[in-house]
Amino acid sequence: MNEFNATPRCTLAMALLSMACIATLSSCEKPKPAGLPQLDPVVSTVLVGTRDIPLTHDFPATITSPQSVDINARVTGWLLEQDTPDGSVVKKDQLLYRIDPSQFQVQLDAANAQLAQAKAQLEAADGQRDAAVAQEVLAQATYDRNQPLVAAGAVSKEQWDQITANLAESKASVEQANSNIALAQAGALSATASIESAKLNLEWCTIKSPLDGTMGASKYFEGSLVGDASKQLLNTVVQMDPMWASFSPSANYLPIILAKQGTTQLPATVTLTGAAYAPGPDKPVTLGANPPTVEGKLVMVNNQISGTSDTILMRIEFPNAAQIFRPGAYATVTLNLGTRKDAVVVPRTAVFARQTEMFVWKVNADTTVESVAVEPVSVYGDEIVLASGLAPGTKIVAEGVGKLRAGMKVKDAASEPAVATPPHSTKD
């Protein structure tokens, strides 16, 4: 049972006024004919007691998922196959969709061919550089050997010019070979990058679930062209266990909630209010009766208060193995914020209304009754918690309040002898 301390007392009084309406109306009985003896009304009485009342508060909440991941097509192509039906429970890395990989396989084959060509060009360039280096060594040796002979006139000017030209040409050949090697290496790097890109595209043709969850409804189906700017989103996978209940209580609750959270793990109950319920197979379905309820814990208090509504976002985490709670559903979060010790309580049936005030019938020592004004603060089960008006141990009327007037004497039903019922006559 929940105690609605969050309800203003005027609202609580109006609710109790409605509950007491029947009892109040029943007091409008027709006067008994004159001459008949006036019998003291028989009522049920109780002694006002105390009990420890849990301080529970209900807040409207929305069910949300800790993870909701969009499944997008990362390459453009024809949707070849959907391997997992919509609405299925999936595991991480489970195959969901496949896109036609043909064009990306062609790209991979072409990139592999480019890499092979670049490697062949690199080998040829290496051979050219080796030959050019050998030619440069020979030309340099010829240059060094003939240089001293030029001054002595042993080598003609024409011969020396040829030797110098041969050396310059051999050096140019080496530079050209180095350039060819660099070009072949760049071609190999480019082909390698194309291979990796083609491999990624091929990998993205198989679309897998990024998490454990439940698939939603597909946006596109087999045979559709997907992956361009307007057709990337295929589906959404939502984590279903555990789940969150997000609610925003008034910031006035923040101090007590933080205090409770700091001393212990603050428990909470999440109720799927208004859900249809069936107690078992082939049993009738009832709406709103015995709604699904689960225990959870407070896991998040937001770091700022909403300036427009003076509320603060909080989350309750709870298990959802049966997946009854779905994102977007409305629920009720019940927080237990402690206990009201020795609270004065009376039965609901003992309270009646006069205009906007609430009363009970107090039974005096001489068995007469008088009305006593009381101040209800909350409802707990079949009892009403009072802030003032009665002391524990006071005898009050629990049932039969509608037939009483101030000063009447009453008889307690518990002290009345049972009335014997005459036996039915039988015929031979």
CATH number at residue 401: 2.40.420.20
CATH number at residue 257: 2.40.30.170
Quote the number of domains for the chain: 4
Assess contact for 94 and 164: CB atoms under 8 A: no
pLDDT at 423: 45
Do 174 and 295 lie in one domain? The reply is no
Assess contact for 254 and 306: CB atoms under 8 A: no
Buried/exposed code over 178-209 (b: 16+ C-beta within 10 A; e: otherwise): eebbeebeebbeebeebbeebeebbebbebbb
Do 233 and 322 lie in one domain? The reply is no
Do 95 and 219 lie in one domain? The reply is yes
pLDDT-based confidence at residue 301 (cuts at 50, 70, 90): very high
pLDDT at 11: 52
Residue pLDDT, tens place only, 155-190: 888 888 898 898 898 889 889 989 999 999 999 999
Do 162 and 88 lie in one domain? The reply is no
Do 231 and 272 lie in one domain? The reply is no
Question: Is residue 333 in a domain?
Answer: yes
Residue pLDDT, tens place only, 384-423: 999 887 899 999 999 988 889 999 999 888 775 544 334 4
pLDDT at 33: 53
Do 211 and 259 lie in one domain? The reply is no
pLDDT at 296: 94
Do 170 and 116 lie in one domain? The reply is yes
Question: Is residue 119 in a domain?
Answer: yes
Q: Is the pLDDT of residue 213 over 90?
A: yes
pLDDT at 408: 92
Question: Is residue 378 in a domain?
Answer: yes
pLDDT at 283: 67
Assess contact for 416 and 379: CB atoms under 8 A: no
Question: Is residue 3 in a domain?
Answer: no
Among left, alpha and beta (phi > 0; psi -120 to 50; other), residue 165 is alpha
Do 233 and 247 lie in one domain? The reply is no
Q: Exposed (0-12), middle (13-18) or buried (19+): which is 299, by Cβ within 10 Å?
A: middle
The span from the CA of 136 to the CA of 225, in Å, is: 60
Contacts with 344 (C-beta within 8 Å, 6 or more apart), sequence order: 48, 49, 50, 385, 386, 390, 391, 392
* Boundary-marking domain end, from 204, 226, 255: 204
pLDDT at 93: 96
pLDDT at 239: 96
Question: Is residue 423 in a domain?
Answer: no
pLDDT at 23: 47
Do 129 and 171 lie in one domain? The reply is yes
Do 105 and 125 lie in one domain? The reply is yes
Segments forming the whole domain that contains residue 91: 71-99+205-238
Least confidently predicted of 122-131, 196-205, 283-292, 312-321: 283-292
Do 117 and 161 lie in one domain? The reply is yes
Do 264 and 329 lie in one domain? The reply is yes
- Note the pTM of the prediction, 2 decimals: 0.64
Residue pLDDT, tens place only, 100-149: 999 999 999 999 999 999 999 999 989 988 998 999 899 899 888 888 88
Q: Is the pLDDT of residue 7 over 50?
A: no
Residue pLDDT, tens place only, 24-75: 444 444 455 555 556 788 999 999 999 898 888 899 999 999 999 999 999 9
Question: Is residue 44 in a domain?
Answer: yes
* Residue 392 or residue 260, greater confidence: 392
* Boundary-marking domain end, from 318, 338, 358: 338
pLDDT at 266: 86
Question: Is residue 310 in a domain?
Answer: yes
Question: Is residue 168 in a domain?
Answer: yes
Least confidently predicted of 11-25, 77-91, 219-233, 277-291: 11-25
pLDDT at 18: 56
